[in-house]
Structure 1
C-alpha cells in the first residue's frame, strides 16, 4: 500500500477527496441499512468504554429524539459482557431474569440497541401481561462491537464470524440456561446466521426460534441501493478511496460528514424509509444512532459485509421456527434477498418458516412499521411456545 503523504493535498485533489469521501461514506453507511449522521461522536476507548464517553452528545440526541419520549428506555438490568478478545459489549435487559423464555435482539450495521425502541416497549408490555401473572419472556438487547456504548476491538476482528462469537458470549454470560429466540435486523440477521455456522449445536437445543429481518445471506457487493447505473459505477469507484480515508484519516472523514450532514440526512430518509408520510423525527433518530459509530468502524466492517456468504449457515435454522420479514420497498437489501432465504430455509408451508412482506416499508421497517413487526414477532413467539409445549 502506498505510504500516506505528509503534506496536505492540492486544493483540487482535496475537493475530489471530499466528494469521494462523501459518496463513499454514504454508500458504506447505507450498505446494510443506514446512511451517516450529522453529529460525530468521539471514539470509545479500544475495548474499554469510559463513563464519560457514554454521556456524550449523541446519547443526548437519542434521548431527545426517541420516538417514545426521552424517558422511554427503561432497563431492569444493565451489564457489560466481555468478548473473547476482551472487548466489552453493552447489554440491557427488560423482564425477570428467571422468565421461561429469553428473546435476544441483535441490531444492524452502524445502528445500536436503540433501533429496537418500539419492539422494546410493545413486546415488553405484551409479554408482561400475557398470562396475567408474570412476564412470559425476558428481552435482552446489546450493542454490537464498535457500535453504541460497546467497545472496539482490533480492525481485523471486524467480521461476521467475530460478531457471531460476540453473540455466543452474550448468550453464555446473560442467558446461560433456558430457551432463546434470536431476532436480528440487517447485520444482526447476518450475525444470527454466523452463530448458526459457529455453533450449530445451539439450534434446536438452546436456540428455539429466530427472526431474520431485512437481511441477506450474501451478494451484498452487487447491490445498487436503487441508484442509476452511472451513480452505481461512481460509488464503486470512490468507495476504496472513502474506506482508506475513514481508516487513515478519521478526523477528516468525521469533518466531512458533519459538513454534509443535511445531504446525508436526506439520503437517510430516502434509503431507510419508504412511507411518504414518515415522521421526520424517525429520520433524526436514525441520524442520532449513527452518531455513535466511528467512521473507522464503518470502514472496517464494510469488507466483511460486502464479501458475505452465509448460505452454508442456514441448515441449523431449519430446526427451529423462523420468521423472515422484509419491507417491499427496501432499497438497501431488496426483498429478493429475503425470498432467497425463504427458498433456502423452506418449504414455507411446513410450519417452520413464515415469510412476511410489509407493504410500503423500507429497510428500517422496525421503526417505520413497528405495529406489523411487533405482530409478526408475537406470532413467532406463539409458534415457539407451541412447539416447546408439544415437545
Structure 2
C-alpha cells in the first residue's frame, strides 16, 4: 500500500507515492499507520500519508509525558517537512482524531479540513499528568503469537473485513511497553477545540450502545460549539472503530468530504 517510507526525528511515516500527500491519516491508540491501509485502498486516486504515533508502529518514544499536544506537534513536524500549499485534509481516529483536532486548531496553515472518527470527548476539569497502566486486553493480546491475535480479533469482531485483522493484530505487538512507564494527560473538551477550528470539520461516530465515545447529543453540542463549517455523521451499527464496523458507510461519508475539500 505504501511505496514510500521515511522518518522524521522519532517518527516513522508512509506515503502511497512520491507525489506530495493531500490527505494525512492519524491512527488510534494501539493501532499503527498500517491499520489505515484497508480503507486507503478503497480511496482510488488519493495521495495519502500515514504516521506512526510515538510509541506505536515503528516510531520511537521520547521520554516525556504522553499528551495530545505532543501527538499534535509530532504530526505538525512531519507535515511541515512535506508541505502542501493550502495544507492537507487530516483524518484521525480516536487518539489520532484528538491529535488532528489539536492540529487543526493550532496550525491552520497545515490543515485545510479535518475528519474526526469517534474522538474522545475529553474532560472538562483540570488536566493533570497521572500514572497509567497497560490495559488488560492489550496485555492479553501481546502474549499471543500473530495467528492467535488474528483469531482473537476475528472472534471479538466477526463483522470486520478480513483485511483489517492482520494490521490490527501486528500493531498490538508493536506498542512500546515503556509507554506505560510515562505519565498521561487527558484531553480537554472536544467542544473547546472545535471553537478554535475554522476549517471544515466532519465528525463521524457510531452508536454508544456499540461502544462509540460520541453520542448524538454530544455531537449536537459539537455542532453548536464549532467555529467553522461542521457536519456530524452517525454510522448505524458501528461502535468505536467506525470504519472497521461499517466500512461502506464510513467510506461514503469520507469520500464525499474528500471530494469537496482535498
Please list the CA deviations of residues 221-252 of structure 1 after superposition, one character each: whole Å capped at 9, or x if unmatched. 9xxxxxxxxxxxxxxxxxx7x82xx5xxxxxx
Q: Report the TM-score when normalising by structure 1.
A: 0.56
> Is the aligned partner of 1:172 residue 2:80?
yes
Matches within 5 A, 1:73-88: 73=1, 75-82=2-9, 88=10
Corresponding residue to 1:327 among 193, 206, 211: 206
Question: Residue 323 of structure 1: CA displacement?
Answer: 0.8
**2:54 counterpart residue number:** 145
Q: Does 1:363 align with 2:245?
A: no
Contact 1:93–1:139 (CA<8 Å) still a contact in 2? Answer: yes
Contact 2:54 2:61 in 1 (8 A): yes
Question: Is residue 182–residue 210 contact of structure 1 (8 Å, CA) maintained in 2?
Answer: yes
Is the Cα contact below 8 Å between 1:78 and 1:90 reproduced in 2? yes
Secondary structure of 1:325 counterpart: strand
| Structure 2 gap segments, 5+ residues each | 126-130
Matched, 1:106 2:26: yes
1:341 to partner: Cα distance: 4.3
**What are the within-5 Å matches in structure 2 for residues 1-391 of structure 1?**
73=1, 75-82=2-9, 88-98=10-20, 102-123=22-43, 125=44, 127=45, 137-156=46-65, 158-197=66-105, 199=106, 202-203=107-108, 205-219=109-123, 243=133, 257-258=142-143, 270=156, 273=157, 277-279=159-161, 282-283=164-165, 285-298=167-180, 300=182, 303-305=184-186, 308-317=188-197, 319-328=198-207, 331-336=210-215, 339-346=217-224, 352-384=229-261
Aligned residues: 254
Greater share of helix? 1
Judge conservation of contact 2:142–2:173 (CA < 8 Å) in 1: no
Distance 1:284 1:312, change over 3 A: same
Q: Which residue of 1 aligns with 2:128?
A: none
* Between structures 1 and 2, the one with greater strand share: 2
Q: Tell me the CA shift for residue 268 of structure 1.
A: 8.8
Contact 1:107–1:113 under 8 Å retained in 2: yes
Higher RCO, 1 vs 2 (CA within 8 Å, ≥6 residues apart): 1
What is the TM-score when the length of structure 2 is the normalising length? Answer: 0.79
**Uncovered stretches (5+) of structure 1, i.e. residues with no partner:** 1-72, 83-87, 128-136, 222-239, 247-252, 386-391
